[in-house]
Homo-oligomer: A and B are copies of this chain.
Amino acid sequence: MDHRADDIAATMHEIGRRARDAAAELAFASSATKAAALEAAADALIRATPEIIEANARDMEYGRDKGLSPAMLDRLMLDEARIRAMADGLRAVAAQPDPVGAVIAEWDMPSGLHIRRVRTPLGVVGVIYESRPNVTADAGGLCLKSGNAAILRGGSESFHSSGAIHACLVEGLVAAGLPADAIQRVPTRDRAAVAEMLRMTGFIDVIVPRGGKGLVGLVQSEARVPVFAHLEGICHVYLDREADRDKALRVVVNAKTRRTGICGAAECLLIDRPVAGTLGREIVAALIDAGVRVHGDEGVQALDDRVIPATDADWGREYLDMDIAARVVDGVDAATGHVRQFGSSHTEAILTENDETAARFFARLDSAILMRNASTQFADGGEFGMGAEIGIATGKMHARGPVGAEQLTSFKYLVEGDGTIRP
């Protein structure tokens, strides 16, 4: 290991050690104290608006010099409205119920024992993200709410913006009498810090990567620490023979076009054969009229001559753009078969008025989120009532779907007896 990497490792271990210590204190901070820290951080953000915008200007200049795309520059940009949105987000998290200490289950045993299962923090959460500086506030706030210490590692493009936001979070912690180390930020742009985080099993309990497939894939393959993440959101919409025309038109167009760059955007439409020539044709035309490039199999090509022939590469593809794959299938079982083969276990929707068909779709798929007669774009912690989310997970262990404060907790059993011994 060279000198530089040695230094980074030492820095990261020191951050890890301080996070562990802060986590031990944070674990039994009261709900009121944590809420006060979040409110104080929100106030600090509003007060520091000029400084944050100034720091952001430096990042924007660096980004333009580096030749970032307009879309990436837009993600990076902060203005007064976006800073206010961050502050509102912290206040929303503050107002949510505290998951820590909540009794998940409670029962008595014939032995005389009274058993409670209660939520506890996970410990230390590492967050690795790319250009969006608001993740600093969102992730820091959720970790604090759930009693976890956070180690935040933002993208190098948002280095100054994230620093200014982080300072406000620390201000909130200190104002509430909580340890400043409860939310730490990696103070270097060096990528070796990320590699180090992924191996810090002694200090970090879970890593949440937020960003593109490149970042998430790297984290998933290299991490020795557990990871909450989804690699891709290849969301499927199945148009059943018993779909309602108006609902289907509305939902499919919304699922594809509302925002194309988010993980809950629909990427593949599966059309039940009996309605291909009728409702299927109408929906394909509506998508194309809305500006979507429809990549169809032969059955779909027959519906509209503007359909682009699909190739094998179109199945299971995450376009994140105004494109959708489309295929004619024979009923719900063929649809679930297609999803099992090409899906990413994120979110799938069925359009049907038939309860049995919907139940079959729900039973035969094991994606984190399954929807009926609703847009896949609802795959979001806020829309699930969680106040905020640190990300969406598709793994089967511990957390799935939108990951909010509650999903950042573990639990322990509290058992009370009265001198009770085991025979």
Contact = CB atoms under 8 A, between A and B. Distances in A.
A126 B412 CA distance: 25
A413 B375 contact: no
Given A369-B413, A384-B413, A113 B421 contact: no
Contacts of A28: 363-364
A416 B373 contact: yes
Pick from A205, A206, A255, A373 the residue with the most CB of B within 10 Å: A373
B419 A226 contact: no
Interface residues of A, number: 61
Residues of A contacting B: mostly: mixed
A184 interface: no
Count of this chain's copies in the oligomeric assembly: 2
Given A111-B378, A374-B113, A250 B412 contact: no
Pick from A244, A251, A401, A413 the residue with the most CB of B within 10 Å: A413
A240 to B, nearest CB: 14
Contacts of A113: 374, 378, 383
B421 A369 contact: no
A417 interface: yes
A10 interface: no
A362 B374 CA distance: 44
B385 A410 contact: no
Interface string A250-286: 1100110010000000000000000000000000000
A205 B398 CA distance: 12
Interface in A32-77: none
Interface string A226-265: 1000000000000000001011101100110010000000
A334 to B, nearest CB: 15
A400 B107 CA distance: 17
Interface of A: 24, 27-28, 107, 109, 111, 113, 115, 120, 122-123, 205-206, 226, 244, 246-248, 250-251, 254-255, 258, 340, 358, 362-364, 366-375, 377-378, 383-385, 396-398, 400-401, 410-422
24 contacts: A27-B363, A27-B366, A28-B363, A111-B378, A113-B378, A113-B383, A122-B397, A123-B396, A206-B397, A226-B226, A247-B418, A251-B419, A251-B420, A366-B412, A370-B414, A370-B415, A374-B421, A375-B421, A375-B422, A378-B422, A384-B413, A397-B410, A400-B412, A400-B413
Given A27-B363, A27-B366, A254-B422, 16 more contacts: A111-B383, A113-B374, A120-B366, A206-B397, A226-B397, A250-B419, A251-B417, A366-B412, A368-B413, A372-B416, A374-B419, A375-B420, A378-B417, A397-B397, A400-B411, A400-B412
